[in-house]
Amino acid sequence: MKKWLGRFRNPLAADTPRRGQRPGKPTFRSRIFAACALLAKAMACFYVFWIGSFLLLKWIDPWTTGVQMQRRVESWFKPGKYEKRYAPVDLTRISPQLRNAVVAAEDGNFHRHWGLDPGAMAEVARESAGKGRVRRGASTITQQLVKNLFFTTHANPVRKVIEWTLAPVAEVILGKERILELYLNVIEWGPGLYGAEAAARYHYRASAASLSRDQAARMAACVPAPRRRRPAAMNQYAAIIDARMRMMGY
Q: Where are the domains of the chain?
A: 31-77+84-247
Name every residue whose Cβ is closer than 8 Å to that of residue 119 and which is 6 or more positions away in sequence. Answer: 109
pLDDT of residue 201: 97
pLDDT of residue 129: 63
DSSP-derived letter for residue 194 is E
pLDDT of residue 14: 43
Rounded CA-CA distance 132/123 in Å is 15
Q: Is the pLDDT of residue 18 over 80?
A: no
Rounded CA-CA distance 216/96 in Å is 9
DSSP-derived letter for residue 110 is T
pTM for this structure? 0.85
Across 182-186, average pLDDT: 98
pLDDT of residue 28: 75
Residues belonging to the chain: 250
Rounded CA-CA distance 125/131 in Å is 10
Across 113-131, average pLDDT: 78
pLDDT of residue 121: 79
DSSP-derived letter for residue 232 is G
pLDDT of residue 5: 45
Rounded CA-CA distance 117/143 in Å is 10
- How far is residue 135 CA from its own chain's centroid? 20
- CATH number corresponding to 31-77+84-247: 1.10.3810.10
Residue 177 parent element (H or E): helix 157-186
Instruction: Give 62-91 pLDDT, tens digit per residue.
Output: 999 999 999 999 999 999 899 999 999 999
pLDDT of residue 70: 97
Q: Is the pLDDT of residue 15 over 60?
A: no
CA distances from 191 to 66, 165, 185, 218 (A): 15, 30, 15, 17
pLDDT of residue 122: 79
Rounded CA-CA distance 219/34 in Å is 50
